[in-house]
Amino acid sequence: MSKPFQTTVVGSMPKPAWLMEQLPLNAKGKQVHGKGADWHFSGDVLGAALDDATRLTVHDQVHAGIDILSDGEQRRTSYLTYVTSQLEGFDYETLAEKWTRNGRRLAEVGRCVGPIRRTKSILRRDAEFMLAQSDRPVKMTLPGPMTVVDSTADEYYGDEEKMAMAAAEVLNEEARELDALGVAVIQFDEPVFSRYPDKVKDWGIAALDRCLEGIKNAQTAAHICYSYPMPGVPRPIVDSYPVILEALESSKIDQLALEFEASKLDPQLLSLCPSKTVMFGCIDNGIDEIETAEHVAAKLLAAAKYLPADQIQAAPDCGLVPLSMDIARAKLQAMVEGARLARERLA
């Protein structure tokens, strides 16, 4: 059994200004998946810089007192294309235009032009590097199958569910390799689950469960964004969590990373997923104001009314990449201190 209110991050962390061109998250104009900003280096120097940026985010997380570490996705220009562009079956040379996120965003996306296959390890080296950095448990993230389908243009399968199951099969191969390496948590990011609650029930859960087959030691997790903050775009909150959480309770996934801070959702929703460990989002990644430890503690203790405290982890709502490094550091420190206070106050 784990200690109550363990602390973790969802995935991405801000990148140092020396590593990558700093662009606003949703710079005006059409989005090109995975091509938001440019690295300041190339070749071997870039490789060394990515290693160093990863060491830096590990340092920041350990210094803040985070229990379960992520590589902060420092090596990725996109959490998704970093993985999909390394799979056979996708073409990122000639992009297609597609309305994604249920019509919210027009993007240029990669095309699926043949059977999705995994011909090499994708995250093996990244995971080995992370495992060598500290003794703390490591989380690695992969895009979930529904999000892969939504974020690419299908010119091969002709059926979303079929394509999702094909993606799930290769994501599962990757996940089993991470499991064998000793990664503690394998997280599938499904930001689009909240956009398509009906598809979640129809085939989203089945595709997610397909990703988990044969995983022996790692905990498995799904991150469901509530509404990713994008400057200049209103957050089109669709109250889909109730439907999604009920469906996820029936899945084989161990953990759910959910947003409760910016969304101001009622923690009573946790009673819909009594068997899951929940990364309870208590830090907003869309504002610079630092949450206080008292605020975090109160949120966690409120959540503990609906789920045992050892099934609750303190986490930010979502990846912290939109923030500056200093603000992200301060927020993580407040979160860790808040979790400590909450532990102290547990009756």
- Give residues in contact with Zn ion (CB under 5 A): 225, 318
Residue with smaller CB distance to Zn ion, 131 or 208? 208
Shortest CB 40 distance to Zn ion, Å: 26
Chain Cα centroid distance, residue 200: 17
Residue with smaller CB distance to Zn ion, 6 or 194? 194
Rounded distance between C-alpha atoms, residue 74 and residue 48, angstroms: 12
Residue with smaller CB distance to Zn ion, 214 or 242? 242
Three-class SS of 265-328: CCHHHHHHCCCCEEEEECCCCCCCCCCCHHHHHHHHHHHCCCCCHHHEEEECCCCCCCCCHHHH
Rounded distance between C-alpha atoms, residue 289 and residue 36, angstroms: 25
Shortest CB 316 distance to Zn ion, Å: 9
Residue with smaller CB distance to Zn ion, 171 or 301? 171
Rounded distance between C-alpha atoms, residue 165 and residue 153, angstroms: 16
Shortest CB 90 distance to Zn ion, Å: 23
Shortest CB 142 distance to Zn ion, Å: 14
Rounded distance between C-alpha atoms, residue 49 and residue 72, angstroms: 14
Shortest CB 346 distance to Zn ion, Å: 27
Shortest CB 200 distance to Zn ion, Å: 15
Residue with smaller CB distance to Zn ion, 10 or 175? 10
List the structure tokens of 200.
Answer: 């979640």
3-state secondary structure of 219: strand
Rounded distance between C-alpha atoms, residue 255 and residue 220, angstroms: 6
Shortest CB 17 distance to Zn ion, Å: 23
Shortest CB 191 distance to Zn ion, Å: 5
Residue with smaller CB distance to Zn ion, 74 or 227? 227
Instruction: Please answer whether residues 70 and 53 qualify as being in contact, where contact means their C-beta atoms are separated by less than 8 angstroms.
Output: no
Residue with smaller CB distance to Zn ion, 192 or 339? 192
Helices (H), 156-214: 160-181, 197-199, 205-210
Residue with smaller CB distance to Zn ion, 102 or 121? 102
φ/ψ bin of 149: left (φ > 0), alpha (ψ from -120 to 50), beta (otherwise): alpha
Residue 151 burial (C-beta neighbours within 10 Å; 0-12, 13-18, 19+) = buried
Shortest CB 281 distance to Zn ion, Å: 8
Residue with smaller CB distance to Zn ion, 165 or 253? 253
Contacts of 30 (CB under 8 A, 6+ apart): 97, 106, 107, 108
Nearest to 2 by CA among 267, 185, 196: 185
Rounded distance between C-alpha atoms, residue 29 and residue 48, angstroms: 32
Rounded distance between C-alpha atoms, residue 159 and residue 54, angstroms: 38
Nearest to 166 by CA among 132, 210, 229, 209: 210
